[in-house]
Structure 1
């Protein structure tokens, strides 16, 4: 009996020794996550290298074993995919809007989006880094001539015609010898070098005196403007205007402030981001939307007094909000634009992963926005977004 017990203990000891010997080796062995795939492939959760779908195709089924290839299918009509991807959905083709003076330059194909341009007589005006619009080409005045005609990309460039010079944005006939009216310099009655030198010296003295006086006035003006600007920016940063909140939201804010005052942690609670599986979204929901256009709609629809409350509810911190107000204290619209942009870019879904592109907002973020708008009693804004992006 004792011998049998000793044999079992010896066996356990041998197994323990073997485990200690091979454990470091196993720890140093590469994991599936560290596996390097060939160019154009991507590692799955199972550690298998699967090929991406080519532009113009979307993923149907990923590969299930080494040596197998993913099952891809062409994008359907009115949809496209312009890069290598493993996305289960293609993106909707852009529609050129005649109401915005756009015409189609090239139609949408499976591997590229529709290309629109401004129609004749209009040019593309850049509003910001993400937004443009077609504006009517400028016409030269009676005393002007065009040095560059209007194109779909650039506006008309005009200058004063011969023997005219520009005065306060208008072209007027030349009356004196100036840089723009050099033809009159030859008609001066006196060409005596001594007289000309005396006139030049007097002119320079007058100019110097004027420059000194203007510099002094400008310096005083800069000090005054700097003082007023700093004061206003500080007031905007430290004293937020009262928000028009509903009764339910006021109760929630009050409870949050009471809990924050009893805790050493002063962090603002972040909104929960609901991540949705793109493969389970209905076909009517776009996989990605251009958040530059989305933000412009929000700036038009959401009342100014509720913008900061909205971005806080979406998870933007007070530090980011205050920084936007300080950096753009002269333009509250630009400050609000930067707040919404910070929300759109703070999630990995707005980057280039999973077939996404820079400047694009994932549909899960759009659904989060719609849900938050309705909680804040901004249902009209939510309905407008659903109409624009054809969400049912």
Structure 2
């Protein structure tokens, strides 16, 4: 029995030794890969677990080293390729080619890529960190001035000239600045707030004075025409001699109508005084002739703007468009509504204040050429 007990003791000891040996083996075998995975700076770990040196810039990997004491086999990059860092890649990178609107700054020499820039007259438009395009530099247009020249990195910078403001990518002159554009016009003097508050009252008073003046002119014109007609009828039958004062009054009234009248009293051939008539004849402008002239001078897209400024309502404009099939006929009717409106018609002849109103509205629309041609045609000074 004693022998049997000793055998059991030996078996237990053998089992304990075996377990101890296995534990040491596992710990030892597990620590070896950790040591192999750590290489010094400038080396890389191969698939076989060996640390090899990296290839220098301008070279590529040809063959891994076979032991720790050997160097990696590297080969120079072919022409037209490069590597700009230490590496262990088997392929070099392809050199960049300059585009159509680019010029070369530095060549590709195996260690660095080719460097390009936009040609003069072109600028770089960046797409992302590695991509860009070259676009042609813009030129400042009318009403603009250049604040920054175009370079290879940015486009030309333009801004509106002094007393100009931008509307839909165009610079327009600041003429009679409104509230929407006056902050673009540095030359405009800022008016005090109390003055601005009185502007509507002043405008209302000015409108009233203008209406009174027009009514006065119309009344004087009516009286002058009436007196002129009476004198003309009286000239066909013997009448008492008219005084110079009466004749001068008639002439001055005519002067307020259309043209300057420099008429002086004239004596009759018989020596017996008859009332002398003015040397000038009031300017007669036929409405139909004027309308066709305006339609030829004013651009078609701006006819509605003109008739609205002359006081033709939107209802009358729409009625003309419905009643007439062509644009020209409709536009003719719109202008006719204006010309034959209140105090407009006088036997088919346009009233002078309406002619002046037409010239003023054309001036507000900057149609100077149309104004000049109308003045030339009708002899308006």
Shorter-chain TM range is: 0.3 to 0.5
What TM-score results when the alignment is normalised by the length of structure 2?
0.44
Select the structure of larger CA radius of gyration: 2
What TM-score results when the alignment is normalised by the length of structure 1?
0.43
